[in-house]
Amino acid sequence: MRNAIFLDAGRQKFKGNIHSHSVRSDGEYTVEQMIDAYRSKDYDFICLSDHEIYFHSDAYDTETFILLDGYEMACEMERETTGQQYHMHGLLDRSLQAEKPFHHDEEHAKPDYESLDTIQQLIDEMRSKGNLVIMNHPEWSKNREEDLLKLEGYAAIEIYNHQSEIQEAVGYGVSYWDYVLKRGKQVNAIAADDAHGGPTDMAVSEFYGGWITVDSERLEQQAIIEAIKAGQYYSSNGPKIYDLRIESNRLRVVCSPVRSIRFITFPNNGLAEMDPTGVYITGAEYIIQDDEQYVRVECVDAWGKVAWSNPIYPKYELQLQEGL
């Protein structure tokens, strides 16, 4: 497999939360208050993913902080009937060149659920309106893994939703992610707050608990979106990943001090690196096997907080090199 850089310690890195709510839907704080809250914690961008109402404005953008355009769209079926519901995040992706993208404050009516085709049609509609689509909080929504496998056109799964975790213990969606990855779907991961309200300065808060950090040449909507599509970012609820690259078939990661670094692979077993004396480690490497369908990295700190890389696909990359 060729050498490749996925996260570069020398590149600019921008931290952001792409899932949060304001008074425009069911949030407690105004747009200005949400901006102030995240700027105070050295975030570079957020998305106000208010329910069924689109944010599409650069009026609040500065050289050091921007709001990504987007929204959260729901198809809320009665759980007594279907056992689940779907919430999907849309982020404006100008490369899709939508003829009729959403306008600022435009509302999008929820569809009536009839079958999984309803969800697929909703994803297709969101994309036709120029959106990169993310499947939000699958554990909270009680989505079926096999349905996420059948659905097409989404770019990522929200594998950590902070508000769902601290309030209802259903914030982790990693098992859904691995389910579809093992069966050949190539999708990235997202960690986010889903903050609606409450105190912002408490030890346990809906704020600042899940985020992504993006390698990008500039702080601008489409540059961030292109980096997300390319997987040039990591998701976290604690640790940091500084560098991730392949050199001579060795996947090397450099991170903030953690207790363990885990290389999650399929179909082979992976590798867990740690110091047996309990000393923190800041890097590890894994020898990639050509038959591996995917490899991803988890950096886990002493409190169980995790930074997740996006998947790398060695077998797919090898096929591309061989022209298959």
CA 11 to CA 227: how far, in whole Å?
Answer: 12
pTM score over 0.85: yes
Q: For residue range 144-155, what is the model confidence (pLDDT) as tens digits?
A: 999 999 999 999
User: Which pLDDT score is estimated for 320?
Assistant: 52
**148 alpha-carbon distance from chain centroid:** 15
Domains, the chain, in order of start with CATH, read: 12-237 (3.20.20.140), 239-324 (2.60.40.10)
User: Which pLDDT score is estimated for 319?
Assistant: 59
User: Which pLDDT score is estimated for 80?
Assistant: 67
Q: For residue range 232-243, what is the model confidence (pLDDT) as tens digits?
A: 999 999 999 999
**Secondary structure of 209-239 in HEC code, one letter for each residue:** CCEEEEECCCCCHHHHHHHHHCCCEEEECCC
**Cβ atoms of 241 and 234 closer than 8 Å:** yes
User: Which pLDDT score is estimated for 323?
Assistant: 54
Structure tokens at 234: 């990591």
- Coil, helix or strand for 163? helix
Structure tokens at 147: 């349905």
pLDDT < 50 stretches in the chain: 324
CA 159 to CA 118: how far, in whole Å?
Answer: 23
Parallel, antiparallel or unpaired: strands 294-300 and 306-308: antiparallel
DSSP state of 97: -
Parallel, antiparallel or unpaired: strands 45-48 and 66-68: parallel
Residue 36 main-chain phi, psi, to 5 deg: -60, -40
CA 238 to CA 47: how far, in whole Å?
Answer: 20
| CB atoms near residue 290 (< 10 Å) | 11
What is the residue whose two structure tokens read 């991961």?
Answer: 189
User: Which pLDDT score is estimated for 316?
Assistant: 72
